[in-house]
């Protein structure tokens, strides 16, 4: 375990309650940043969002402050916190933080080194910037759904994970924030980051889109090498009804696969379009002769790029993730001890520090006092209803 976490000393103010911004702060906290969740005071019941205990890793390792950002006192308290912070993450619709007086311009005025990250569905500009949306919408407009598999109706299949929220949004924001912090280390200046989830999906789809721009060929399901055009990059059912993922792209791996499946007649036909369907039929017949785990245990270490398709209970019990410290336990104030996916780069994080605070008891007084407000000032803010 390293003596310092990767983001030790970095303070993040997170104004979001769900979605990509919360996923971003989750990663930053797991890497050692001091993340302060900024939520509304109880009187704003309509904007209170309380995810279930398991969601977003139960905000482990984070603290919480409650501010009425619509009040002068709440706004001033936030700016006081921002003056000593390194990062602000928000996910309001475009223009909202500026109307509240806590946008980048206002925060930069009190902290020239601030990295201010706005995460929205379609970004701060453009004809869709004010549109509401969720993960499925961004996958739809970015081409992801069109190029994915089809459901029984022949339409695009619903994805099994929130790829847009997690990768195109959350990780997109994390990468941008870390890049901005790196630049600040040289210049001393912070920056404003306009992170659009739809833009992130566009980047994730660049392989297919760039092919279209260069070649004029429209990608779609089973069009390309990585979407099932060939028999050696596909899914096959085993004798017990389990499934296997086959991704033998390199000629060496393809040759090993053909040998292990006793399908050597296809060795010289890897990219032969006329051989695709008969090869697929032969592979399917071969995989249907044995159970999933038998194939996986034999083919996995044989350089064939074959893996079992695991259900979530199997993922949780998987020996590889166990060996890598993929899961951790935390004590939740209401749910008790719960097991969770551990921090990415698990070896860089001390899991014992990832406590789950009781969300019904905010850390407002402690956090504001740490930021330099006196007990009298904090009391006045509470009396005015600006904090809770």
Strands lying side by side in the sheet with 306-308: 233-237, 243-247, 306-308
Mean pLDDT over each residue of the chain, to the nearest integer: 92
Q: Which residues contact 314 (CB under 8 A, 6 or more apart)?
A: 308
Owner of token pair 């028999």: 231
In this predicted model, what pLDDT tens digit does every residue of 131-185 receive, in sequence order?
999 999 999 999 999 999 898 998 999 999 999 999 999 999 999 999 999 999 9
172 flagged as catalytic: no
CB 38 within 8 A of CB 12: no
In this predicted model, what pLDDT tens digit does every residue of 68-125 receive, in sequence order?
999 999 999 999 999 999 999 999 999 999 999 999 999 999 999 999 999 999 999 9
Predicted local distance difference test score (pLDDT) of residue 130: 95
CB 242 within 8 A of CB 308: yes
Fold of 225-317: formyl-coa transferase, domain 3 (3.30.1540)
- Residue 115: Cβ within 10 Å count: 26
CB 333 within 8 A of CB 357: yes
Q: What is residue 208's three-state secondary structure? A: helix
Q: Domain segments of the chain: what residues?
A: 11-203+324-383, 225-317
Predicted local distance difference test score (pLDDT) of residue 4: 77
Predicted local distance difference test score (pLDDT) of residue 332: 81
In this predicted model, what pLDDT tens digit does every residue of 2-43 receive, in sequence order?
567 889 999 999 999 888 999 999 999 989 899 999 999 987
pLDDT at 57 over 80: no
Percent pLDDT > 70 in the chain is: 94
CATH architecture of 11-203+324-383: 3-Layer(aba) Sandwich (3.40)
Measured CA to CA, the distance from residue 205 to residue 376 in angstroms comes to: 54
Predicted local distance difference test score (pLDDT) of residue 43: 74
Q: How confident is the model at residue 360 (pLDDT cuts 50, 70, 90)?
A: low
Q: Among 44, 80, 108, 134, which one carries the catalytic annotation?
A: 134
165 flagged as catalytic: yes
Predicted local distance difference test score (pLDDT) of residue 241: 98
Measured CA to CA, the distance from residue 248 to residue 251 in angstroms comes to: 8
- Whether 11-203+324-383 and 225-317 share one fold: the answer is no
What's the Cα-to-Cα distance from 293 to each of 68, 123, 208, 280, rounded to whole Å? 55, 45, 33, 20
Q: Among 165, 234, 282, 363, which one carries the catalytic annotation?
A: 165
């Amino acid at each position: 375990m390293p003596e310092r976490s990767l983001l030790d000393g970095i303070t993040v103010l997170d104004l979001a309650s769900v979605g990509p911004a919360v996923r971003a702060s989750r990663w930053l906290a797991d890497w050692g940043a001091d993340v302060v969740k900024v939520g509304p005071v109880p009187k704003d019941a309509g904007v209170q969002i309380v995810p279930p205990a398991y969601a977003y890793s139960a905000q482990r390792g984070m603290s919480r402050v409650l501010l009425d950002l619509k009040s002068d006192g709440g706004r001033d308290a936030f700016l006081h916190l921002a003056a000593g912070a390194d990062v602000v993450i928000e996910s309001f619709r475009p223009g909202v933080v500026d109307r509240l007086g806590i946008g980048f311009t206002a925060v930069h005025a009190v902290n020239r080194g601030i990295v201010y990250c706005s995460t929205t569905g379609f970004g701060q500009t453009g004809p869709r910037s004010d549109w509401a949306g969720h993960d499925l919408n961004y996958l739809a407009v970015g081409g992801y759904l069109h190029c994915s598999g089809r459901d029984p109706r022949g339409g695009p299949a619903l994805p099994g994970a929130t790829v847009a929220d997690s990768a195109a949004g959350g990780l997109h924001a994390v990468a941008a924030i870390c890049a901005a912090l790196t630049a600040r280390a040289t210049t001393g200046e912070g920056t404003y980051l306009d992170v659009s989830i739809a833009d992130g999906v566009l980047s994730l789809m660049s392989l297919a889109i760039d092919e279209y721009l260069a070649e004029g060929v429209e990608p779609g399901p089973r069009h390309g090498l990585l979407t099932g055009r060939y028999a050696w990059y596909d899914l096959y059912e085993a004798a017990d009804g389990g499934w296997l993922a086959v991704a033998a792209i390199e000629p060496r791996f393809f040759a090993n696969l053909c040998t292990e499946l006793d399908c050597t007649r296809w060795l010289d036909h890897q990219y032969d379009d006329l051989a695709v369907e008969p090869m697929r039929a032969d592979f399917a017949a071969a995989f249907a002769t044995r159970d999933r785990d038998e194939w996986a245990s034999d083919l996995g270490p044989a350089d064939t790029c074959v893996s079992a398709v695991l259900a979530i209970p199997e993922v949780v019990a998987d020996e590889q993730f166990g060996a890598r410290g993929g899961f951790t336990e935390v004590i939740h104030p209401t749910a008790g001890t719960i097991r969770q996916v551990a921090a990415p780069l698990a070896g860089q994080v001390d899991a014992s520090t990832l406590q789950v605070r009781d969300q019904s008891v905010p850390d407002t007084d402690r956090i504001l006092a740490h930021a330099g407000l006196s007990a009298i000032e904090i009391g006045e803010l509470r009396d005015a209803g600006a904090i809770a």
